[in-house]
Amino acid sequence: MIVFKYKAESISTDGTLVKRPVADVFLQAASGEWIKFHPYIDSGADVTLIPLSLGKLLGSSARGKKVETIGGISGGVPIIYIKNPMQIGTFTFESHIGWTQIEDVPALLGRADVFDQFDVNFKQKDNVIIFEKR
């Protein structure tokens, strides 16, 4: 069992806080190095999304790749689908990821591959999210 805590973040200039479900996730770069990032756990997202800079840090290249547009709450976002090793807790697996071609997009941990590997239980009242390996 892997437990993540909700993270309090400011959502306005008046200091109003909201708690959001955030995970500690690692992606493996082309160099073999594991890079940690902190995506929002989003059961409404079909795939995991990473911003442009994280994809470049992984060693991904857009050269010759098909750019697609996906829609969401913020409108259309250009992405390239990549496949990359992902680690959550001690579990490593291949994950399909949408590498956004813009920077101003929050990292999201989506359902594809992740929710196939884990049962995910949001316990908002307790401020925790529990991942249990299937």
Number of domains in the chain: 1
In a domain, 50, yes or no: yes
Whether the pLDDT of residue 61 is over 70: the answer is: yes
φ, ψ of residue 103 to 5 degrees: the values are -95, -30
60 has a pLDDT exceeding 80:
yes
Tell me if 13 is assigned to some domain: no
CATH value at residue 91? 2.40.70.10
- Per-residue pLDDT tens over the stretch 76-132: 889 999 999 999 999 999 999 999 999 988 999 999 999 999 999 999 999 999 999
- How many of the other CB atoms lie within 10 Å of CB of 123? 12
Residue 108: left if φ>0, alpha if ψ -120 to 50, beta else—which one? beta
Range of the domain at 106: 2-8+21-133
β-strand pairing of 91-100 with 48-50: parallel
**Model confidence over 67-86: pLDDT tens digits?**
888 876 667 889 999 999 99
- Domain assignment of residue 16, yes or no: no
Q: Is residue 113 part of a domain?
A: yes
The phi and psi torsions of 112 (rounded to 5 degrees) equal: -55, 130
Handedness of CA 8, 10, 11, 14 (dihedral sign): positive
Per residue in 27-42, pLDDT (tens digit) is 999 999 999 999 999 9
**Residue 33 placed within a domain:** yes
